[in-house]
Amino acid sequence: QRARKLFAEFDDIRAGVARYKERDIPELHIGLVESIAVALLPHLVAGLKGRVGSLSITSGTTHPLMPELRDGAFDMIVTTEQPDGIDDAQMMPLLTEPLLLVLPKTEEPPLDWEGVAELAARLEFVRFGRKRRLSKIIDHQFARFGIEPHGTLEFDSSFAIIDRVRKGLGWAVSTPLCIFAAGASIEDVTLIPFPSSTPVRCVNLIWMSERGGGPARLVGKACRDIFESLIIPELQARAPGLEDRVAIAQ
């Protein structure tokens, strides 16, 4: 009786190992930044189910993930960072999205940069931390057109920023994915493009070349398919007028 039980347990283990080996990728660790995770994570888990033996996803972080990727904590990351100065890092662009002015519903949208300057002088600017890549893009654009926003409030969370705007306590610059992460739409805030020279943010898949490109190509294709068929239509529905401003990266 005991021998039969042991053989049955062995058969179960062997079958489990066989199923594990049948997966395209035995084990995978992925990092996702906060502004991307809310939209992408549920669909990505469903898309990789059955293709990956053991899947681990760290999401909701706002700090840079490149150091952890380089140190081996992740096999790949989905981020808006660039692998600057890291020779053996590989990158697949996934999505481009525009930066948008985010205003309280009570505010009249500015028609030009003079209007933005007037808004910046009158209403507090609520921003991401100054070390964030998105903040650097915003600061560069403001400097080009002489915009000097006032305000000292800095948040790591998209929700906290959009919530301040929703309550009429300030204005912000954000992206469709960040606005989605905050659970907001045009019913809550006014979203308008920059008067001119609208900057864009790129979402990238980055991995270290020593780990091979096969898993990255599988995950990259899954991400691009999810963005194209599910997320881009949702972003366009939340912010009508985006048209082709949110697009699969070429």
pLDDT tens digit at each of 250 positions of the chain: 554 554 454 454 444 444 444 457 888 999 998 889 999 999 999 989 888 888 999 987 777 888 899 888 999 999 998 888 788 899 999 999 999 999 999 999 999 999 999 999 999 999 988 878 888 899 999 999 999 998 878 998 899 999 999 999 999 999 999 999 998 988 999 999 899 888 899 999 999 988 788 899 999 999 999 999 999 998 888 877 776 788 999 8
Question: Do 56 and 29 form a contact (C-beta atoms < 8 A)?
Answer: yes
Q: Candidates 3.40.80.10, 3.10.105.10, 3.40.1180.10, 3.40.190.10; correct CATH number of 100-198?
A: 3.40.190.10
Q: What is the pLDDT of residue 243?
A: 65
What's the CA gap between 174 and 179, in Å, rounded? 7
Residue type present at position 211: R
Q: What is the pLDDT of residue 162?
A: 95
Equal fold, 2-96+202-248 vs 100-198: yes
**H-state helical runs in 33-112:** 34-48, 66-70
Q: For the domain bounded by 2-96+202-248, which CATH number is listed?
A: 3.40.190.10
Domain residue spans of the chain: 2-96+202-248, 100-198
**pTM for this model (two decimals):** 0.83
E-strand stretches of 12-139: 25-33, 52-61, 76-79, 89-98, 100-103, 127-128
Q: What is the pLDDT of residue 198?
A: 85
